């Protein structure tokens, strides 16, 4: 009788919660993320938890939990993930009704990722032209210069210390300096943004910590854009101001800059650090280093290697949450209006149905295939080609400049529960520098860029 009573009380509570308007929910008030919701964000070193593969094998669409009266679904299959990300008419990414006033000073966290059409269409149209391959070709010399500068910093550090940490000398500063130059921001605030960037993706502090860090970084960039409103700089922020003037508000411009800055910085830093570790540890059956030696001998082989690293590491662990706009069918399940659907990027990118039985293995010879490392559909990462440009310049640059580099071992400080996976440190023995000082930044199939 007592068990039946508790069951009925639970049903009544769920029913009442579903009747409460979504606007009363406040995710920013959560001081912790329950295990039932947070476990897909954990990692076993470079790999997703085995539980994720087991869940996908059972059903690529899985009822994860019920949070504040909302059903939360986890999608771990590639085909199913693409289906969700390709249907903007069925799902919304507008999280503003769920974050309350604590999510931002004015209750609006901004940015393309949390915006639906027509606002998303209007904002994306302002920034998309700057991220086409044609426009990006103009900044390739800048990327090359920054990579070379950080290679020099590694060499200088190696002369005074046998072990060098690639995170502060290479993996973080390369994307940070590129984004600063691209946006036209001073680089003296790198420590502030490094802390804010890591904090906004760390869910160990619940919604309070994550959404608070988003608010802080957006307010920081809002002040920077306001200064450029008075005196537009040479970068992207100044260019948008000169072209569109008062047609774009400081709020919207800060949201765009915030998305470009933190998205491009944190994800690329994670890829550069963990990608370097994977490449240094990749050996064939005879113990020879496959990828590192290949990049050193043939820099133009970097394209497929980068795509396999993007798929294998999947540093972005979950796509922007999708809120069902209507009742719909997903896989064999009925998703109700207001339900939340989370697409696991590592789950989809390790799907054996799409990538074969060795999907959990880093295979540099794998034929490149479509993956979800940059998302898919309307909200696909706008900076994907910039990220590829950085990775294609950085990895061959490291291998050619330091052909005998090897891992120094020790704890890398893997993030425990973060939307963007990464490491806190990557100690290496750089080894002697190569006497060959050829330029880096070669795009596969293209001539060298001076």
Give me the mean pLDDT over the 11-17 stretch.
Answer: 41
**What is the token pair recorded at 396?**
């061959």
Of 183, 362, 179, 387, the C-alpha closest to 281 is 362
Tokens (6 digits) for 2? 């007592």
CATH number of the structural domain 2-429: 1.10.630.10
Reduced to 3 states (helix: H, G, I; strand: E, B; else coil), residue 427 is strand
The string of DSSP codes covering 322-374 is EEESS-EEETTEEEPTT-EEEEBHHHHHT-HHHH-TTTTS--TTSPP---STT
Q: What is the per-residue pLDDT across 306-321, written as a single tens digit (0 to 9) for each?
A: 999 999 999 999 999 9
349 or 196: which leads in pLDDT = 349
Identify which has the larger pLDDT, 343 or 112: 343
Tell me how many degrees the CA angle 346-358-63 measures, rounded to the nearest 5. 35
Rounded Cα distance, 299 and 294, in Å: 7
Cα(395)–Cα(296) distance, integer angstroms: 9
pLDDT band for position 436 (50/70/90)?
low
* Strand boundaries in 125-186, DSSP class E: 164-165
pLDDT of residue 423: 95
In this predicted model, what pLDDT tens digit does every residue of 125-178 receive, in sequence order? 888 888 888 888 989 999 999 999 999 999 999 988 889 999 999 999 999 999
Average pLDDT over residues 256-274: 87
**Band (400; pLDDT cuts 50, 70, 90):** very high
Reported as a single tens digit per residue, the pLDDT across 159-168 is 888 899 999 9
Q: What angle do CA 353, 358, 360 make, to 5 degrees?
A: 90
CA proximity to 314, closest of 360, 265, 364? 360
Average pLDDT, the chain: 82
pLDDT score, position 104 = 43
**pLDDT tens digit string along 178-196?**
988 888 877 766 666 666 6
Question: What is the C-alpha radius of gyration for the chain, rounded to an integer number of angstroms?
Answer: 22
Task: Of 207-211, 279-283, 354-358, 445-449, give the lowest mean pLDDT range.
Answer: 445-449
- DSSP type of residue 105: T
Q: Look at residue 50 and tell me whether its pLDDT is greater than 60.
A: yes
Helix (H, G, I), strand (E, B) or coil at 99: coil
* Stated pTM of the model: 0.85
All structural domains of the chain with their residue ranges: 2-429
């Amino acid at each position: 009788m007592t068990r039946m009573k508790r069951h009925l009380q639970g049903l009544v509570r769920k029913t009442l919660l579903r009747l409460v308007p979504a606007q009363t929910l406040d995710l920013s008030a959560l001081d912790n993320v329950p295990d039932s919701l947070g476990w897909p964000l954990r990692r076993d070193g470079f790999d997703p938890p085995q539980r994720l593969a087991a869940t996908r094998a059972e059903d690529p669409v899985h009822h994860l939990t019920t949070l504040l009266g909302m059903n939360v679904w986890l999608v771990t299959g590639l085909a199913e993930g693409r289906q969700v990300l390709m249907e903007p008419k069925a799902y919304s990414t507008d999280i503003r009704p769920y974050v309350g006033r604590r999510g931002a000073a004015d209750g609006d966290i901004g940015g393309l990722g949390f915006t639906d059409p027509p606002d998303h269409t209007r904002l994306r149209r302002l920034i998309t032209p700057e991220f086409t391959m044609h426009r990006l070709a103009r900044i390739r010399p800048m990327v090359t210069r920054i990579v070379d500068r950080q290679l020099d910093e590694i060499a200088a550090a190696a002369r005074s210390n046998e072990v060098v940490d690639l995170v502060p000398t290479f993996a973080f500063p390369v994307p940070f300096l590129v984004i600063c130059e691209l946006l036209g921001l001073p680089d003296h605030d790198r420590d502030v943004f490094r802390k804010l960037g890591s904090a906004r993706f760390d869910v160990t502090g619940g919604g309070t910590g994550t959404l608070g860090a988003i608010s802080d970084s957006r307010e920081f960039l809002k002040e920077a854009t306001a200064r450029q409103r008075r005196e537009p700089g040479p970068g992207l922020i100044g260019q948008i101001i000169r072209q569109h003037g008062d047609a774009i508000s400081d709020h919207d411009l800060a949201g765009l800059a915030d998305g470009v800055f933190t998205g491009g910085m944190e994800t690329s830093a994670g890829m550069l650090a963990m990608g370097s570790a994977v490449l240094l540890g990749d050996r064939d059956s005879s113990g020879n280093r496959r990828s590192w030696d290949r990049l050193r001998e043939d820099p133009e082989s970097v394209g497929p290697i980068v795509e396999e690293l993007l798929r294998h590491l999947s540093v972005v662990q979950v796509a922007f949450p999708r809120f069902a706009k209507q009742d719909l069918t997903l896989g064999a399940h009925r998703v109700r209006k207001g339900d939340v659907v989370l697409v696991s990027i590592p789950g989809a990118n390790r799907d054996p149905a799409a990538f074969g039985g060795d999907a959990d293995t880093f295979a540099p010879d794998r034929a490149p295939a479509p993956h979800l490392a940059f998302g898919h559909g309307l909200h696909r990462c706008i900076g994907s080609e910039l990220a590829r440009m950085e990775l294609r310049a950085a990895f061959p640059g490291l291998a050619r400049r330091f052909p005998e580099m090897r891992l120094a071992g020790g704890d890398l400080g893997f993030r425990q529960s973060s939307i963007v996976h990464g490491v806190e440190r990557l100690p290496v023995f750089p080894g002697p520098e190569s006497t060959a000082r050829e330029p880096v930044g070669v795009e596969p199939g293209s001539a060298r860029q001076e």
